[in-house]
Amino acid sequence: MSRAAFTLRIDSQERNALKHLSKIEGRPINQILNEAIKIFLRQKGRKERSLEASLDSLDSYRKKEQGFKRAIAALVDAEATLKDPLEGEPFEETDFENSAKPTGPVRSRVREVLGA
């Protein structure tokens, strides 16, 4: 495996910590950093493999579930073709006594933005 020179900029605190670690372990800083990079890449590799396994599992589920594509298509069709009677219309929730419930700060801000 060939090696290539690489410039790394780090804070002085980390540089001093590496110097001390190098003295304590009796190893060059370069060797310590190479080991740290390999460990980091192995950890990231495990995460990637876990994500890939999750995606593979989801993909296999989709392939087994014959109605999946039909269900998605039906949802898209319904969203595109059916009219939502409440879309864009502000409304007041009422309690059992038929009086308007007090609105919270979020609802008040949404109504203000909508001009309702």
8's CB contacts (< 8 A; 6+ apart) are 33
Tell me how many domains the chain contains.
Answer: 1
Q: Domain limits at 72?
A: 12-84
Is 71 within the bounds of a domain? yes
Residue 61 forms part of a structural domain: yes
Binned at pLDDT 50, 70 and 90, residue 76 comes out as confident
CB 111, CB 90: distance < 8 Å: yes
HSE on the CB side for 31, CA within 13 Å? 7
**What does the mean pLDDT of the chain come to?**
79
Task: Give the C-alpha separation, 103 to 38, whole Å.
Answer: 56
How much is the pLDDT for 74?
81
- Tell me if 53 is assigned to some domain: yes
Whether 104 maps to a domain, the answer reads no
Quick check: 52 pLDDT over 70?
yes
